[in-house]
Chains A and B, each alone.
Chain A
Amino acid sequence: MRGLTTGYVVRRVGMFLFTIWASATLMFFIPRLAPGDPVQAMVTRITSQAGYVEGSGQLVAAWRERFGLDDPLLVQYLSYLRSMVTFDFGYSLSQFPAEVGTMIGRAMPWTIGLLAVSTILSFLAGSVIGALMAWRRTPGLLRVFLPLSLTFTAIPFYILGIVLIYVFVFTLRLFPISGGYRSDLSPGISLAFVNSVVQHGTLPALSIVLASMGFWALGMRGMMVTVAGEDYLTLARAKGLRPLDILFRYEIRNAILPQVTALVLGIGGIVGGTVLVEYLFGYPGMGALLYQAISNADYTVMQGIVFILILTTVTAVLLIDLIYPLLDPRISYERR
């Protein structure tokens, strides 16, 4: 690839593997530092429903043994590493004998579908708004209107989400309240199903888009301003290029580079960052699963999700590092 040396790629991939290992190791030890214990947490959960669990002491001991929680940490760590390498995440501790893999598999499409799509949408919308805010030729009316769209970002999006629910669901009854799809439909590629997925996804997506758009817009505006004085824009204008061509291919194309990095870095944060969206809209994604796992101290589910997160983030970062020279041909990874 352009701008890449073999040495660089080898080093980069080495770093990639190291980062995965480091993160995975951290995520093994961190939850175990907390006083919570998955089996105790499970018992607590039952207690909060049933008031009292008889013989819970023995129950806890029995499950701890079954899960190998009494093994030395090193033994647990090694078997953890093994399971991560083989992608066999084992059983959920809090909902044994449900498999972690199945649980994640059920949640993942929703997270990818809703959260990734709306993150990308908000990135695009925000970038365009930011670009237009900085563009000389933006019509005056838009100029007034654009910053207004940023005020959404100023509202904590839980409120935004609730207001959306209030307006669109309660009052206007335009959208379904919660969930990922109409549960009388079975998942598949039918028109009705897709339609219902879109209907259910609109509000949560809207709240994510509205709430995060402003950050992208601000960043974009800053970069546009930096790019605005460049000589190549003058030449582009001299060439008689269409204003929109200049905007997109010359200004935005140059201004968006750091934004892309931010986007990629944001991908890892998607799941962790949107727990509340999923919670608020009852969306069946990984964020909610992660939150449940954390509060139930369900190590295996937590580890499974986090491992996937680690993989996606680190891969995304690796990719951006490898692809960046293509986006910004000036970057070269030659050693100085």
Chain B
Amino acid sequence: EGEGAGGGGAPGPGGAGGGGVRARTVVFDFHGGRVQSPDLWNPLVPGFTVNAGFHQALMEPLFILDYESGETEPWLGESFTPDETSTVWTLKVRDGIQWSDGEDYDADDIVFTINLLLKGGAELNNAAAMKDWVKSVEKIDKTSVRFTLNRPNPRFQLDYFSVKIHGSLAIVPQHVWEGKDPAKFKNYEAGKSPVFTGPYRLTSASPTKFTYERRADWWGAKTGFMPLPKPERLEWVVSETEDIRVARASDHQLDSVADLTAGAFESLRARNPEVISWLPAKPYAWPDPCTRLFSLNNAVAPWNDREMRWAVNHALDRDEIVRIAYEGTTTPARFFFPDYPPMQEYVDLIEKAGLFEEFPITRHDPDEAKRIIESKGYTRSGEGYYTKDGKELRIQIDAPTDFIEIWRYAEVIGEQLQRVGINATVRKLAGGIWGDNLNNGRFEGAADWSACGSVTEPWFSMQLFQSRAVVPVGKGSTSNAVRWKNDDYSRSVDQIANLPLGDPGIEKPFLAAARVWLRDLPFLPVAHARKLYAFDTTYWTGWATQKDNYLQPTLDWGNAHKIIHRLRPTNAQ
């Protein structure tokens, strides 16, 4: 049931503890908008919506990365070990795993899937990455697979098989997919659940709601890997607006709410005191991996001048941005790494090396900003805008219109730049156009999060800004949209690439790269991202919180399996 006004035999809203379907169901908020193709269950095509239950209930990952500890936990996989050069990786999966139709899940399926990606076109998810890294894949025995890479990659397991942010590479059953065109296969038959290994099966799918029922014959329970999860039924419900989400959650119609603003969360908690979040007090939220940035197009004058970029940086008041755009629910960022303990170590390295003193990135100093601008030949009369050769100093900041958080901080940046005499305007664009402009370099400034990727090690985010990713304005590239070229930086990052994770040798090239980056400041980290998840404890407890931090609380990611297995009915305690 759901929002039906007490109808349909199911207990009405607020019928806490009354047993019935509601008490055995966990209802998740799905906030990605309506799913217009609920009959598409092909995880290999990019248009497929994975987080409406697919990778939380149907498909299980091989490993799950715990952001709190930095450890990777085995799930379907038992181990994934590299050789000493990180070029040959051996995957071992558990014994006794079965697909939901009873067939065995084994090395053949994995080899089949990887080969599908290797041999098919680049249009499949992860196909490009596999083609790039994997030379060959072969079955060793029923539960072991050997990956031979083209070149060393110490992050092979982390990046593709461990739910590093959001999801991971999906292994598909060979007996179902054999002979199908992987780009066109829908993998859906009305009335039947798509075949995967998870403890739930799909029972209904509509653009606004997905329902899954627990499977008694889940392999994990049979093999003793884990008992069946307690929830008998899972639902993902689309709520179009934050108000609706809060309304539903106030009414105990949602057990988990994703991505709330602080104000909404506070009013939700006022209505429904059973609601908890990661932190009991402000900022409530869990740090999200994608640091918020203010990108300046390094290919466009005057922002191609590093001093001008620094001038802009001095005009920024990050504390004010946090206070206003985030209403105090996050912290300013001084580097583009997310706020996780493993990454914090790297930022501390920069600190210790005195680089933040040399390049005082967090210093809000409007006068310095003006001084730099004036030193570039700009003049300003009174409170007007700076001009040079009759041309106004202006910048247009693009922000995606459907992403409130982003345009809110863009607006504050706009005001701050206005204050120092830069005519900054904020333009909200439809997501597709915004992204396209960014990729093609058709922008002056943009509010974005394109340094995303590193969560336990520095290389991934840093390599995004290597010179080799730079393409001319008008050509598309999803990395280094700011079009920053610096060969010293690129060289240092390449040195990190091949070192095993956690290798002490990383420190030197890392600091070298960080120094160059800070000096050039191709884009400005603004604030750390936060994801505010709210959980209703009326029916279920066991949610991930900082106090019980067995995992990050990201229920829309593929790591949700672990949380779902942790949930307990409230009244059963």
Tell me, yes or no, whether A and B come into direct contact in the complex with CB atoms closer than 8 A: yes
A-side residues, CB < 8 A to B, are: 34-38, 40-63, 66, 92, 94-98, 102-103, 106-107, 162, 165, 169-170, 173-180, 182-186, 192, 195-196, 199, 279-282, 284, 288-289, 292, 294-297, 301
Residues B128 and A162 in contact, CB atoms below 8 Å apart: no
Say whether B1 faces chain A, with CB atoms less than 8 Å apart.
Answer: yes
Complex Cα–Cα for A57 and B481 (A): 12
B402 within 8 A of A: yes
Name which of A66, A98, A192 has the most chain B CB atoms within 10 A of its CB. A98
Task: Determine if A178 and B435 form an interchain contact, defined as CB atoms under 8 angstroms apart.
Answer: no
B166–A98 contact, CB under 8 A? no
Which residue, A55, A165, A280, has most C-beta atoms of chain B within 10 A?
Answer: A55
What is the chain A residue whose CB lies nearest that of B45?
A96
A92, B47: Cβ atoms under 8 Å?
yes
Known: A43-B46, A60-B476, A95-B36. A176 touches B442 (CB 8 A): no
Residues on B with beta carbons closer than 8 Å to the beta carbon of A175: 5
- Asked if B223 is at the interface (CB within 8 A of a chain A CB), the reply is no
Q: Looking across the interface, which residue of chain A has its beta carbon closest to that of B479?
A: A52
**Assembled-state Cα–Cα distance A299/B452 (Å):** 29
Report whether B209 and A183 are in contact in the complex, using a CB–CB cutoff of 8 Å: yes
Could you tell me how many residues of chain B have their Cβ less than 8 Å away from some Cβ of chain A?
Answer: 87
In B247-265, which residues have CB < 8 Å from any A CB?
A: 247-248, 250-251, 253
Is B433 within 8 A of A185, CB to CB?
A: no
A-B contact count (CB 8 A): 247
Once the chains bind, are B478 and A56 in contact (CB under 8 Å)? yes
Chain B, 425-443, contact with A by CB distance < 8 Å: what is the 0/1 string? 0000011111111011010
B369 contacts across to A, CB distance below 8 A: none
Contact B39 A46 (CB under 8 A): no
In the assembled complex, how far is the CB of residue B321 from the closest CB belonging to chain A, in whole angstroms? 20
Contact of A44 among B432, B442, B556 (CB under 8 A): B432
Other-chain residue from A56, A63, A103, A180 in contact with B36 (beta carbon distance below 8 A): A103
From known contacts A35-B436, A182-B2, infer whether A57 and B45 are also in contact, taking CB-CB under 8 Å. no
Contact for A95 among B37, B239, B289, CB less than 8 A:
B37
Contact A292 B34 (CB under 8 A): yes
Q: Are A292 and B435 in contact (CB under 8 A)?
A: no
Chain B interface residues toward A at CB < 8 A: 1-5, 7-8, 10, 13, 32-34, 36-37, 39-40, 42, 45-49, 51, 121-123, 125-129, 131-132, 159, 165-167, 183-186, 204, 206-209, 211, 237-241, 243-244, 247-248, 250-251, 253, 289-290, 400-403, 430-437, 439-440, 442, 449-450, 452-453, 460, 464, 476-479, 556
Report the separation of the CA atoms of residues A296 and B33 in the bound assembly, to the nearest whole angstrom: 12
Q: Contact: B204 with A183, CB < 8 Å?
A: yes
Output the least CB separation between A136 and chain B (Å): 43
Is the CB–CB distance between B432 and A38 below 8 Å? yes
Complex contact A176–B5 (CB within 8 A):
yes
> Can you add 5 more A-B contacts, CB < 8 Å, to A36-B436, A295-B432, A296-B432?
A51-B289, A97-B45, A174-B5, A295-B431, A297-B433
Given contacts A47-B435, A55-B127, A92-B47, contact A199 B5 (CB under 8 A): yes
Q: How far is the CB of B74 from chain A (nearest CB, A)?
A: 22
A311 CA to B129 CA in the complex, in Å? Answer: 44
Q: Contacts of A44 on B, CB cut-off 8 Å?
A: 431-432, 434-436, 439
Distance A96 CA – B124 CA, assembled complex (angstroms) = 11
Pairwise interchain contact A282-B238, C-beta atoms closer than 8 A: yes
Enumerate chain A residues within 8 angstroms of B431, measured Cβ to Cβ: 41, 44-45, 48, 295-296
| Known A41-B432, A44-B436: A282·B240 in contact at CB below 8 Å | yes
**In the docked arrangement, what's the CA distance between A102 and B38, Å?**
10
Say whether B10 contacts A51, CB under 8 Å: no
